[in-house]
Amino acid sequence: MLIYIYTYHSINMVYLTIETLKNARGFVNPCKKRELDLRDLSLDTIENLGLTLDQYDVIDVSGNYLKRLENFATLQRLECITAHNNSIATIDSDMFSRCLPSLRTLLLTNNNISDINEVKGLNKCETLQHLSLLGNPVTGISNYRLFVIAALPFLLTLDFKKVTQTEKEAAANGFDSTVATNYNNNNNNNNINSNNNSSSHNCNSSNNSNR
């Protein structure tokens, strides 16, 4: 008789306290930007970033257990959020226009964003120029790239590829927010109806997303 022994490992979540922030590594990166390294700390919530006193251009929270991108304090200086390899499914888009007026780059490679409306909400962040959603389920929808470009016409790059003038024209002519929303709703219904037969989408992130 075979006996299976299962071992469970609990995850010790770390709170983003003043002590954690004090011990976090801050440095000048190769682009000569002040960067705060909060990678691989087992964080499940973003909080207390106001304690940084708005000293950083880049904040990296990759490799944690975040499910929502939210709770950023008002950071006038912050230009880039790097949040690869989490479990982010929802984005507090109001936060970007309200708290992060200088945000230009948002890198969300390898997360759990599946709803095109989460991406559409980023249209409130008109300073955003560079976005990565590689490795998210949303990239599997038909015409995903044109949907995103239509929703966020101010993007310069998407998934580390330049947004071309041809793509901008095609997006403006053929895709609007209503189309994207209706497609997403239909796609969700189809996924529910074919749940037992559906195949998973696996997307490999580019080398640019490796930290």
CA 71 to chain centre: 14
End-to-end CA distance of the chain: 47
Question: What residues have CB less than 8 Å from 143, skipping those under 6 apart?
Answer: 175, 183
Most confident region among 15-24, 174-183, 191-200 by mean pLDDT:
15-24
pLDDT tens digits, one per residue of 143-154: 999 999 999 999
pLDDT at 3: 41
pLDDT at 11: 56
pLDDT tens digits, one per residue of 158-184: 999 999 999 999 999 876 544 444 444
Q: Where does the pLDDT of residue 10 fall: very low under 50, low under 70, confident under 90, or very high at 90 and above?
A: very low
DSSP state of 172: H
pLDDT mean over 125-131: 96
Mean pLDDT for all residues in the chain: 83
DSSP state of 132: E
Quote the crossing angle between the two packed helices 144-151 and 177-193, to the nearest 10°: 140
Q: Where does the pLDDT of residue 189 fall: very low under 50, low under 70, confident under 90, or very high at 90 and above?
A: very low
What is the b/e burial string over 186-202, where b = at least 16 CB atoms within 10 angstroms of the residue's CB? Answer: ebeeeeeeeeeeeeeee
Among the listed residues 52, 85, 49, the one whose alpha carbon sits nearest the alpha carbon of residue 70: 49
- Percentage helix, strand, coil, to 5, in the chain? 30, 15, 55
Q: By mean pLDDT, which of 6-20, 53-67, 69-83, 85-99 is the weakest? A: 6-20
Residue 39 has pLDDT above 60, yes or no: yes
pLDDT at 187: 47
Between residues 96 and 63, the one the model is more confident about: 63
pLDDT at 97: 86
